[in-house]
Structure 1
């Protein structure tokens, strides 16, 4: 496949992934959304179906990596690093496009949410903010729609959680989900991977929100920082390295395990 096919496929596929995955987070979170309060099950299955849709959409063009950790693992497995920048560039751009489309689709709900005094605080709200750790206070009321964040802020634990979750994801892809060319997910592999993402969300998503994908977290976090929303709060850049570094380490470890145990 050509570099242009890879870039276009990864851009479109990752945009679909974030549109539907971020969309379920918006649906569950935002004021005036019909799905508000639907809970963690809705989020876990929503992300699983987002993966399924994105893979089927982009696989004919790029093999549907949709995740820099997956691309890195496949590069290590095959000792071929030439297309890494093309895949990663398309994935980051697609993630930013998908996050922007979530904002467009829920524009009225975002506006209602960030102007609601019960949500962003009225008089005396500063006293509440002062009682919260500075890093946690930096995360605004809609940041969780765009990117992940820890329930307990401990860099070592948070990093390990992301590494473990990504190892599970990438090992499942490498052992079950590759197409005949070995460069991406086949039709059955897409379904398996979607179910694995649901399983990771239900079992390992509680501590950090299971980014398990650097582009999925970094692209939407950049969009959150750029959006013209009042009272949106900070983008929590002090934590942003964890969902980027953790999945990349996890992907590399998974590739190493595969090469030793399965290849």
Structure 2
């Protein structure tokens, strides 16, 4: 895959897996990550010349523009992946509506800024391009207690469809992927904090809610994202592709947290 790509939240988990796949396929990647330490792996990478780590907040227009500049300086911008997310829960019985809206915005804003930056760059270059937004199974299968995240991810899927319709005539494709649970650093840290017995119970629960009997590997989600960025997916736009091992089909979730 030639050209350059921007991946937000590219320092770890799904974002890192996407960056590694794109670089391995011949692309140049600018990985945005808020935590500079999470970009340390990019410095010793064999393809270091085509892998650029950018520390900053992907929800900051200036950071997004710097990433686009760095990508276009290396090769024509071909794709943008909005993977960065904020995981903070709130419920309307215990938080103000204003606080809930702020948390919704924290997840929606980063994807919107990425989409807007990519669309403007594609239009200015007069070239086609692809955007992939990372949603979640929770956009369709809500988990009690996770209102801000669920709402933001549902909005991101709506935004994906709206942008696909508006900019499809310009050759810009916009899609989303909706993972289930994924074995990332965050997932591993969560298990480690529970203790061995509790971690084992969580693993059993996760196996039970995914018909394939396990959580995903980050590279399995990344493979779907890189496919949607590729020419092979040239007639796919406005779609949300579930990469959840059948979790939303089964529609049973022991992670649910009820307020009473």
TM-score by length of 1: 0.31
Larger helix proportion, structure 1 or 2? 1
Specify which structure has the higher proportion of strand.
2
